Amino acid sequence: MLWFALARNEEQTLAVQIEEELRKRILASQLRENEKLPSSRELAHSLGVSRNTVNEAYEQLLMEGYIYRIPRSGTYVSKGLAFKKERRQIPQFEKQIHQSEGTMIDFKASQPALDYFPRQAWANTYKQVCLTADETVFGYQSALGHVQLREAIANYLGRLRGVEALPDQIVITTGATQALSFLTKLLHPVGEKVCVEDPVTEEMRSIFTEAGAQIEPIQTDEYGIKPVQLPKNHKPRFVFTIPSHQFPLGAILPVKRRIELVEYARKMKTYIIEDDYDSEFIYEGTPVQAMQSLDTEHVIYLGTFSKILSPSLRIGYMVLPFHLVESARRQKWFTDRHTSSLEQVALATFIQEGLFEKHIRRMKKLYAKRRKVLVEAINATFPQCDILGQAAGMHLVVRFNDRKRIQADELVKHQVNAIIVDDFSIKKGHHLNELVLGYGHLHEEDIQEGIKRLKKALTSCNTE
């Protein structure tokens, strides 16, 4: 069907407007040569004009040679009219990305092994949901998210993360990023301080500052955030922490500090936002329960399916104290109504049928193996270095103890990429000789080759 808007009160007649639109589309190849145009009756119907108006436009275009007619067949676009498309100039930065693709070994953090996405199991589940789900799934749903998914998450979190949550306290969001962005607005930080672990990603900081908050960095050591550093003389709107596997340093926050944090939140009547983005992957010891299990009123828990399954799903969630649920529901409704229900029901079914935990077990084995290969390669290549953080997640931090100053441009020159921890720091200068190495997405041979390149790159770096 062909449709475009016509201005009824324009000086130009409707027939002229139709002519011009068709001319424009023919010249731009949006209507291709020899393509059949709709009959005058069809076009008149779709544009809401009389058939005579369309005939008038067609006659003019016929006269000008834009179209031709075949008796008892129809009206067609003439040949050879479209301008040759100019080749798009690729901007410089895109060129660099294309050129480095394929040869660069990128130790980017928090990137799951996309080639291990359980395509078949997901496709079967999704198809089953499409074919059998109640028809209400295809309509608007609760802004909190589909109840089947909220129940599945509540059950999963209770069993595996110690999180106490009723389905009605869970809000499904478009990734944890949206949850964090909602929460920041919900807790009204405009002009107020929010305490944030330092180092932390620039993205997280931007979410807070875009909402008008002022960042107060809180020092983080090899065990995670240091509660003694939290301000005593003023109340932050919230404290943001990643206690299960601090990003980027990789610490698992000890229980003593968790209790101190909760006590602080209680005393100051503030909130802890707990980002639990990759806690499923712990390779040594047993997972520590979520902080939310210590206090369901002061700790807000955020989770995501981006790291376990795929970032493309865009499904995350937050577990809220009851008094925040209604505001969050309204915010979600007025932002995007709700996250896609088909995906939600497919995910709920995937979890309830045990496929999710099966996938976690598979990925955990894979990441543990990749981590082992990386640790061995680092130890063999850089005997002087320290590996920081716990054996968890999809990245580790390596600290080089020689006098070399890591230079990002030397890494790129040697076709290897990794972020210097100091790039994540708010207070600069404490993590200059540390690199974040993500390994989740890298095959074993790439990990080994990447470390060889890193060695060459660091050898070329200047001594401090």
Ligand X SMILES: Cc1ncc(COP(=O)(O)O)c(C=O)c1O
- Interacting residues toward ligand X by CB under 6 A: 110, 175-177, 242, 247, 275, 277, 304, 306, 311, 316
Of 205 and 414, CB closest to ligand X: 205
Nearest residue (CB) to ligand X, 215 versus 461: 215
Residue 418, burial from CB neighbour count under 10 angstroms (0-12, 13-18, 19+) = buried
Closest CB 336 distance from ligand X, rounded Å = 14
Q: Report the nearest approach of ligand X to the CB of residue 214 (Å).
A: 21
Nearest one of 204, 201, 273, 207 to 237, comparing CA atoms: 273
177 vs 331, which CB is nearer to ligand X?
A: 177
Q: Min. distance of Cβ 431 from ligand X in angstroms?
A: 17
Buried b (16+ CB within 10 A) or exposed e, 85-95: eeeeeeeeeee
For residues 246 and 349, which CB has a smaller minimum distance to ligand X in the complex? 246
293: left (phi over 0), alpha (psi -120 to 50) or beta: alpha
Q: How far apart are CA 226 and CA 228, in angstroms?
A: 5
Element (H, E) at 327: helix 322-336
311 prior amide bond cis, ω within 30: no
CB of 311 to ligand X, least distance (A): 5
Q: Rounded CA gap, 123 and 129, in Å?
A: 10
List, as own/partner pairs, every contact residues 226-229 make where C-beta atoms lie below 8 angstroms and the sequence separation is at least 24, other chains included.
226/257, 227/257, 227/260, 227/261, 227/264, 228/260
Q: Which is nearer to ligand X, 315 or 454 (CB)?
A: 315
Which residue's CB is nearer to ligand X, number 56 or number 274? 274
HEC-encoded secondary structure of 145-160 = CCHHHHHHHHHHHHHH
Q: Which two tokens stand for residue 413?
A: 């020159």
- Rounded to an integer, what distance in angstroms lies between the CA atom of residue 91 and that of residue 212? 33
Q: CA-CA distance, 225 to 255, in Å (whole number)?
A: 12
Judged by beta carbon, residue 18 or residue 436, the one nearer ligand X is: 436
**Three-class secondary structure of residue 26 per DSSP:** helix
Least distance CB 193 / ligand X (angstroms):
21
What is the nearest approach in angstroms of ligand X to the Cβ of residue 181?
Answer: 9
Shorter beta-carbon distance to ligand X: residue 175 or 243: 175
Residue closest to ligand X when measured from CB atoms = 175
In the complex, the smallest distance separating the C-beta of residue 180 from ligand X, rounded to whole angstroms, is 7
C-alpha separations of 120 from 132, 314, 350, 358, 363 in Å: 18, 19, 12, 13, 16
Q: How far is the CB of 204 from ligand X (least distance, A)?
A: 7
